[in-house]
Amino acid sequence: MNEIADNKREYTTELSKGQGAISETLTLLEYWERGMSADELATEAVERGALGRSTETRTRDLVTRVFARRYLVDEGRPARVLQTLRGQVPLSVLKQFMLVYTARQHDILHDFITEVYWPKYEAGADQISRSDARSFIEEAHAMGVIDPGWSETMIVRVARYLAGTLSDFGFLEDSRKSTRDIQSVRVDRPLVVYLPYEIHFDGYSDNSILEHPDWALFGLMQEDIVRRLKQASYDGHFIIQYSGELLRLSWEHESLEECLHAIA
């Protein structure tokens, strides 16, 4: 998992390789087995024609530069989580887990959601346009986050794929239009339960739960996080104590696997 306090941002063009890649991810999860490397999965996917009419080059790109980067980090933990939940929770819930893992690997996606989508949503805006994405990229370049700068063609391309990725994950309407309607997003209970357990078993303090950047993807401030944790505690996954400054949780599940099976 990314270091909670790591504020160094790196924007790349890699998101254009797959955007949300929802259907491809679901398919590749059927073929991936624990311990299987990205190259082994790519070979299996090519030989089995897993991605339909996708060319060998495209299939290998999707496996090694999209699926592996997002889901085979941390010894494949994200892939194992998705495999456990798949078929046990609605697709909308599974997509929220996919979003978290994708945004952890793509700072540009995380920041576009937190710095463009949510401010617009909270201001009552109805739409987000590619020009909004373009302005976001140009500002990042001016601030030195993108260095060296991208070509005009690449800026247009990444702006288009940023909007497309938000559509894939349900933040914008599913459309190819240059301006897309904003959709309402609310974090679902399984992720609210799972994320604190992941942070806990990664060795961080309970208070670090409130500081984790993943919550911002769903527009949550500290008081929102505490409220969602209290709501989740009613299901018996943990007991929460919060003084206004100090957060303490008493944990019901003894491992991430146990937690996953409890919420699946």
Given a cut of 90, is residue 245 above it in pLDDT? no
Q: How confident is the model at residue 7 (pLDDT cuts 50, 70, 90)?
A: low
- Residue pLDDT, tens place only, 23-69: 999 999 999 999 999 999 999 999 999 999 899 999 999 999 999 99
Note whether 170 and 137 are within 8 A (CB): no
DSSP character string of 85-118: HTTTS-HHHHHHHHHHHHHHH-HHHHHHIIIIIH
Task: Give me the mean pLDDT over the 208-229 stretch.
Answer: 97
- Residue pLDDT, tens place only, 71-105: 999 999 999 999 999 999 999 999 999 999 999 99
H helices present in the chain, as ranges? 22-31, 38-48, 56-61, 68-71, 73-85, 91-105, 107-112, 118-122, 130-142, 152-168, 189-201, 222-233, 256-263
* Domains of the chain by residue range: 14-94, 107-181, 189-263
Task: Give me the mean pLDDT over the 8-29 stretch.
Answer: 93
Note whether 92 and 189 are within 8 A (CB): no
Q: How far apart are CA 255 and CA 190, in angstroms?
A: 15
Given a cut of 70, is residue 6 above it in pLDDT? no
**Which pLDDT belongs to residue 148?**
87
SS3 128: strand
Q: How far apart are CA 172 and CA 163, in angstroms?
A: 8
Given a cut of 70, is residue 258 above it in pLDDT? yes
Structure token pair of residue 130: 């590619």
Task: Give me the mean pLDDT over the 169-181 stretch.
Answer: 93
